[in-house]
Amino acid sequence: MKIIHRKTRRPAFAAIAAGASALLLAAAASAQTVRYVTPPAGSKVKMEGTSTIHDWTVESTNIGGFIEADSNFPASALTDPKAAKPVVQVSIPVSTLRSYAETMDEVMQDHLNMEKYPRIEYRLIELKPKSAAGAAGPLQFDAVGALTVAGATCTNTMPVTIERVDKTKIKVTGATPLKMTDFDVEPPAPRILGMPVIKTGDDIKISFEWVAEQKAEPSAKP
């Protein structure tokens, strides 16, 4: 009886499987979630408005919050719907918004009901890409998010620019028009002897530059 010996193909299959595993591991590593937090300095926010006497501005350098995104963000958000929904939360203490006059600050804080709602808060819902896939440098998006002011929340869409400053730092800049009354905030109109001496316009503009850096991993104990 003639015995036929068949050559095994297991080594070839093993090589293919090993290669596939390596690709999967590489893909998983590239999609690793990274957390970025606000450093002590480098961020600022400005709120601008009008009145019957003069225009006004309040500013703060205190922007708290974080970004949780994949390691290829923001470039990945141009083509990957999941990457375009990073976890982003931002907060600004109302008490840190300052103008040129303490009296004006007190009026603003009173109208924003600072005692009950001490922070302006923002939560990103999604990013809608405006830059072309494969673009480099500062990337353009429309950011859809939930903005909470004085306890009232409105959905807002604003243009933003997101760029990598270096391997561990991301900068986000943007600006958007708003109305005080959208958040049930009555435009201030201070009175003297019962007569309004100044009336604030309903329309305001918020602009910001927010820097977030990669949170360092805790060092291993010796």
Cα separation, 200 vs 108, in Å, equals 11
Q: Where are the alpha helices (DSSP H) in the chain?
A: 10-30, 102-111
**124 class by beta-carbon count within 10 Å (0-12 exposed, 13-18 middle, 19+ buried):** buried
CA quadruple 15, 16, 19, 20: dihedral sign: negative
Q: How many CB atoms lie within 10 A of CB 36?
A: 22
- State the pLDDT confidence band at 189, using cuts at 50, 70 and 90: confident
What pLDDT does 216 receive?
A: 65
- Give the tokens for residue 4: 């036929």
pTM: 0.81
Residue-wise pLDDT for 87-115, tens only, equals 999 999 999 999 989 988 999 999 999 99
Q: Which amino acid type is present at position 35?
A: R
Task: Specify the CATH number of the domain 34-214.
Answer: 2.40.128.110
43, 208 in Cβ contact below 8 A?
Answer: yes
Cβ-Cβ contacts under 8 Å for 162 (sequence gap 6 or more) = 74, 77, 127, 138, 139, 141, 170, 171, 172
Residue-wise pLDDT for 136-149, tens only, equals 999 999 999 999 99
Helix, coil or strand: residue 111: helix
CA quadruple 153, 129, 87, 60: dihedral sign: negative
